[in-house]
Amino acid sequence: MANSSAPKPGSTDPSVIRNFCIIAHIDHGKSTLADRMLQITGVVDSRQMRAQYLDRMDIERERGITIKSQAVRLPFTADDGVTYILNLIDTPGHVDFTYEVSRSLAACEGAILLVDAAQGIEAQTLANLYLALENDLQVIPVLNKIDLPAAQPEKYAAELAHIIGCDPADVLKVSAKTGLGVGELLNEVVKLIPAPIGDADAPARAMIFDSVYDTYRGVVTYVRVIDGQLSTRERISMMSTGATHELLEVGVISPEPVPSAAVGVGEVGYLITGVKDVRQSRVGDTVTSSLRGATQALGGYRDPKPMVFSGLYPLDGSDYPLLRDALDKLKLNDAALVYEPETSVALGFGFRCGFLGLLHLEIVRERLEREFNLDLISTAPNVVYRVRMDDGSELIVTNPSEFPSGKISEVNEPVVRATILAPSDYVGAIMELCQTRRGVLMGMDYLSEDRVELRYTLPLAEIVFDFFDALKSKTRGYASLDYEPTGEQASDLVKVDILLHGDAVDAFSAIVHKDKAYAYGVHMAGKLKDLIPRQQFEVPIQAAIGARVIARESIRAIRKDVLAKCYGGDISRKRKLLEKQKEGKKRMKMVGRVEVPQEAFIAALSTDESPAKPK
C-alpha cells in the first residue's frame, strides 16, 4: 500500500471508512474513473497503470463491461487532513445480474451516479439508481466526459437533478480521462457518504457480495463486514447452508490482494477458505464465526435462478467430453450456471444450460469458445414454462421438445418489467414493437423535454430472442433497455414442431404464442427448404401444432447429379472430388431418411434473422 500511515485492515475506525460504488452504463467511463481513483490515491503508480485496471477478464476489457465485481481499498487523505479508507465496490454492469448488483449495493452506504455528459442516463443505469435509492444509498450525481465537444453538461445536469431530486448545481462534472474534477469527487465522497454503522462487539456478520474462483487460491470470497470481525485461522460458517470452513487467509484488495490479520466492522475484504466451488460461497449469504456465531442472518439472500435456457452442442461430436469438462470448470466461478446432459436427434450429444439471461448465455458461450477452444452450436434460447395438465399435475419445461402434447389446462410463462429510455421521437416505434411482443404499457414519463421513460410488462420469451436488437434498430441505437423478472402469467402458448419427411427435428421445436405459430412455421419451413440439399426423394417440410399441420414446404427430389464429361484429364480431379464428397457425407446428420449437413442446422438456428418474428 502506498500510504504507510493509513489505517490498517482489521483496526480501522469505521468513522473513516466510506463504502461506495459507481453506477454507470457501459461506455460511460466507470472503469476509467476507477483507474483515475487508483492513481490519485497512489495505490497504483503510473508505471504499473494499465487501462481498465480492475477488469480482469479479456472479455470484460473488450466489451467494456464488468462481469464480476470486486472491491478495492483506497487510502485517501482528504482536504480536512484526515486519511480515510475509501472502499470502491465495483458492480457488475448488466441487466442479467440485477441480483448481484443489489448485493453490491447492499455493501455500500453511497453511490456515484456516473453519466456520460454527451449521452445522458440510460435505462439500465436508471434501474440501478432506483435499486440504490431503495437501499437508502447516498447518491452523488456526476457527469463524465465533460471535455468532449459533444458534451451537454447543462442539459444532462438538469435531467439528473430531475430524476434524483437535487439541484442541477449539485451535479459534479469530471473528466475521468484527464482526471479533471476527480480529486474534488473523492472529497465529496468523504463529505457526503455516511460512515458505516455496525456493532464491533457483536458476533461477526459479513455479507458475501461476490465470489470468484481462482486456479491457485480456490474460491476468493468478497465480503462486507456488518458486525464484529473475521480473523485468519478462525472457523467460519455460511449461514444459508451451515457449512463451516477454516479461514486460511483474510485481506483487502489494494489493488492487489494484501493479507491481513482480520477485517473489521464496516470494512470490505476478501476471505479464502480453500473451497473449490463458488456454490459453497454464495452471493448474498451471511458469513459468521463458527464459535458463538450470529443467529440471525443478514436479509436478502436468494438462490440464483436461471431464467433462460439453451442447448449447447459441440460442432464436432467428439468434443463432448471437452465441453463437459469446460462447463465443470466454468461452474466453479459461476454460481448461476446450471446444465445437464441432453441428446438431440439433430445435434447429437450436448447440454441444456440455464442462464440468468441473454448476456449471461452469451458470455458463457464466448468463454467456452475462447478459453476452451470449442466450436459450439446453440439452440434458440427459451424461457421456463410451468405447464398444468388437466389432471392437475404440473410440469416445468426448460426444453421446447419436452413440452407435453394434449390435456393441458394452463401454461405459465415468466414476465418481466421492462424500462425503456429513448428520445421522445421514437415513442411510436417503441410502442409498436412492444405491442407485437405482447407488451402491456404500465406507464410513461418524460425525463426531460425530449427523453422518455416507458414502462412495460413483457413476456420474457419475447425479449430473449432479439428484442434488444429490434429495439436498437427501431430507435437508431438511441433506446436503452432494462428489465427484471416480476413473476409469471398464463398465456395462450403452443408448441410448434418442425417435421422433416415426417420426423420431428427436436432442435427446431419452439413454444410460441398461438397468434405467432403460423409465422414461425412458415419462416422455419422456408428457411430449411433453402438450407437442406435435395435428396433422391421429395422431402416434405411441415410445421405442426400437435397433429395439425400449419405450414408446408417441400424439397423437390434431385434429378441430376452427374458430371457430364469424364475423360482422361478429368479422372484424377473427379476421384478427389468424390472422395471429398464422401467425407462430407459422413458428417451429415440423418433425420429419419433425410441427410442434413450440420451447416444447415447451424444456419437454421442462427439468430441473424428472427424465426419468431412475424413477417
At 270, the amino acid letter reads Y
Tell me whether residue 448 or residue 535 sits nearer to another protein (CB atom). Answer: 535
Bridge partner list, 548: 545
Q: Which parts of 48-107 interact with another protein (CB under 8 A)? A: none
Residue of the chain from 149, 165, 299, 569 that contacts another protein (CB under 8 A): 569
Tell me whether residue 200 or residue 558 sits nearer to another protein (CB atom). Answer: 558
CA distance linking residue 180 with residue 234, whole number of Å? 44
Applying CB under 8 A, does 150 fall inside the site for another protein? no
Applying CB under 8 A, does 587 fall inside the site for another protein? no
Applying CB under 8 A, does 593 fall inside the site for another protein? no
| Angle in degrees, CA 383, 94, 338, rounded to 5 | 45
- The full length of the chain comes to 615
CA distance linking residue 96 with residue 308, whole number of Å? 10
Applying CB under 8 A, does 574 fall inside the site for another protein? yes
Number of residues binding to another protein, judged by CB under 8 A? 27
Do 520 and 496 touch, CB atoms closer than 8 A? yes
Tell me whether residue 47 or residue 559 sits nearer to another protein (CB atom). Answer: 559
Residues with Cβ within 8 Å of 561's Cβ and at least 6 positions away in sequence, in order, are none
C-alpha torsion angle, residues 509, 510, 514, 516 (rounded to 10): -110
> What are 263's three cell numbers?
477485517
Residue of the chain from 242, 392, 406, 568 that contacts another protein (CB under 8 A): 568
SS3 at position 39? helix
Applying CB under 8 A, does 573 fall inside the site for another protein? yes
Residue of the chain from 49, 197, 441, 563 that contacts another protein (CB under 8 A): 563
C-alpha torsion angle, residues 12, 17, 21, 27 (rounded to 10): -90
Beta strands, E only, 215-346 = 218-227, 230-231, 235-238, 244-246, 249-253, 257-260, 262-263, 268-272, 286-289, 308-314, 338-344
Q: Which parts of 532-551 interact with another protein (CB under 8 A)? A: 536-537
Tell me whether residue 134 or residue 579 sits nearer to another protein (CB atom). Answer: 579
Tell me whether residue 476 or residue 576 sits nearer to another protein (CB atom). Answer: 576
Tell me whether residue 407 or residue 559 sits nearer to another protein (CB atom). Answer: 559
Applying CB under 8 A, does 530 fall inside the site for another protein? no
Give the nearest distance from C-beta 608 to another protein in angstroms.
24
Residue span binding another protein (CB under 8 A) among the ranges 40-48, 344-352, 580-588, 601-609: 580-588
Pairing state between β 83-89 and 17-24: parallel
> What are 19's three cell numbers?
463504502
> To which H or E segment does residue 428 belong?
helix 427-436
Give the nearest distance from C-beta 578 to another protein in angstroms.
5
Residue of the chain from 50, 407, 548, 560 that contacts another protein (CB under 8 A): 560
Exposed, middle or buried by CB within 10 Å (0-12, 13-18, 19+), for 166?
middle
Residue of the chain from 58, 214, 469, 570 that contacts another protein (CB under 8 A): 570
Applying CB under 8 A, does 575 fall inside the site for another protein? yes
Residue span binding another protein (CB under 8 A) among the ranges 222-230, 330-338, 578-586, 601-609: 578-586
Applying CB under 8 A, does 578 fall inside the site for another protein? yes
Give the nearest distance from C-beta 588 to another protein in angstroms.
11
Tell me which residues touch another protein (CB under 8 A): 536-537, 556, 558-576, 578-579, 581-582, 585
